[in-house]
Structure 1
Amino acid sequence: MLLRLRVRLPDRPGSLGQVARTLGVTGADIVQMIVLERVGGRAVDDFTVIWPAAAPVDRILAGLGAIPGVAVEGIWRSTGGAPAIGGADAELVGQVAASADGGIATLVDAVPGLLSADWAAALVVPADWASAAENGGTTPGRAAVAYASWQAPDPLTMPDVAPLRPRAFGGADGMLFAAAPFGRGGVVLLVARSGGEADLPVPAFHTTEVDRLAQLVRACGLVLGDRLDGLVGASAGSGRGHRPIDWPVNPSGSGLASMFDR
């Protein structure tokens, strides 16, 4: 199976090498490493590793915990394969532009794989969300679901996504979210992550991940244009779209995930 690890470590020569060697000794095969931040002499890195499904994850924690200054902030399964990086975002924007289904389904189904998340949904927020908040409304920003990815729970209980700006926030039952508005029609892209390994909580979406989501949404918003306005009417109808297939941005990564989850 594929695991994602978020590790905080000293930002000095040799620290990353120690972490990589220790992961190898414990039996983890590193397939990807992403630097999330480097601040004040500390770094936060995300590792995606291949890990034997029958092996206890505590082995990784024990190994990394023995390195001075290293702390594991979270371990969770990467269900969509290794998170796509490099030119994957630009490729996805192209797929959205060329999609015959309007593009929003292509975007929603692909985003969880980009951010190692569980599911995503395109939401339509009522036009009066701001005035509802100002007047003491109890559910400002409560959104209707226009389209949800295939792994989203059904029925889908949505959190309040107001204020409409790119941000990360927590929800009920330990669910973690990142949201980014398209800037028109009250349409918002929501991404969700939950469930950790070895009793460690899943870490919140990092600022780097939220920024990446916001940039992707802005680009796709320009490509989709008036098609976003059509989601408002669609959300008032059936209430939820769904395509019951995976739509990986990184086909090779998703193939690895399915291979090692067996």
Structure 2
Amino acid sequence: MMVRLRVSFPDRPGALGQVARVLGTLGADILQVTVLERQTGRAVDDFTVSWPGTADADTVRERLSVVPGIRVEAVWPTREIPGAAPDYDLLKHVASDPGRAFATLVDALPDLVSAEWAVLMSSVTGELVHRSWQAPRSLDETGGLAGVKAADLTPLRPSALGAGRHRLMSLPVPEASLHLILARTEGPPFHRVEMDRAIRVLEIVSIIGR
């Protein structure tokens, strides 16, 4: 299975190699490394790896913790295919059928940022306009979003937030009274790099879909 690991380690020569060696001893095949940040002497990277059998997050943390300064922030499943260009595929489908621009975006965007589901909702009424097949039929269903008000999910600016067991990304749709909400129940909160990627795609889709 494919999993994603978010790892924080000292930003110094050889540290990345130490992480790679430990993953190799666990039988993991590193498929992709995404640099998220480099600041204050530390680095945070996402590793997409092919794992034999079922990934054991506790084992990963235990084995990597023997390397001084390394922290495993999260381990979670991912559907993103390393080396693919899902952004371009999404935009191609949107351009071929602009009338379904936002529906296509909601269906495809979760795989771009390792989210589990997405919904498009009205910023005014809080009603769902479109939902990916994995999403709850309403945001009041049990599953961590019960009792959350539309105002909490529709801030004026893009934001990453939590609601119950969910990690959420909330993005206002340019020039529309709509908000795109992405969620995952496994893994860490959305990183600003993931948000930037989703925002750029949303902006282009908004232009095409007008």
**TM-score under structure 1 normalisation?**
0.71
Aligned residues: 201
> Letter of the aligned partner of 2:179 in structure 1?
V
Q: CA RMSD in A?
A: 1.9
State the partner residue of 1:184. 175
Aligned-partner SS, 1:61:
helix
> Letter of the aligned partner of 2:208 in structure 1?
V
- Cα drift, residue 182 of structure 1: 1.4
State the partner residue of 1:139. none
> Letter of the aligned partner of 1:221 in structure 2?
S
Aligned-partner SS, 2:183:
strand
State the partner residue of 1:149. 132
Identical aligned residues as a percent: 43
Q: Is the 8 A contact 1:32 1:82 kept in 2?
A: no
State the partner residue of 1:97. 95
> Letter of the aligned partner of 2:70 in structure 1?
V
Which deviations, in whole Å up to 9, do the C-alpha atoms of 1:98-144 show, x marking residues without a partner? 12652222111111110011101111111xxxxxxxxxxxxxxx621
Question: Aligned equivalents of 2:23 and 2:198: distance in 1?
Answer: 29
State the partner residue of 2:156. 164
Aligned-partner SS, 2:188:
coil
Change (3 A) 1:83 1:116: farther
State the partner residue of 1:208. 193
Where do 1:57-68 residues align within 5 Å? Answer: 57-68=57-68
- Cα drift, residue 185 of structure 1: 2.6
- Cα drift, residue 19 of structure 1: 0.4
Question: Aligned equivalents of 1:164 and 1:83: distance in 2?
Answer: 33
State the partner residue of 1:106. 104
- Greater gyration radius: 1
> Letter of the aligned partner of 2:104 in structure 1?
T
* Structure of greater relative contact order (alpha carbons < 8 Å, 6+ residues apart): 1
Unpaired runs of at least 5, structure 2: none
Where do 1:1-262 residues align within 5 Å? Answer: 1-54=1-54, 56-78=56-78, 80-82=79-81, 87-99=85-97, 102-126=100-124, 143-157=126-140, 159=148, 160-172=152-164, 174-195=165-186, 202-225=187-210
Change (3 A) 1:162 1:156: closer
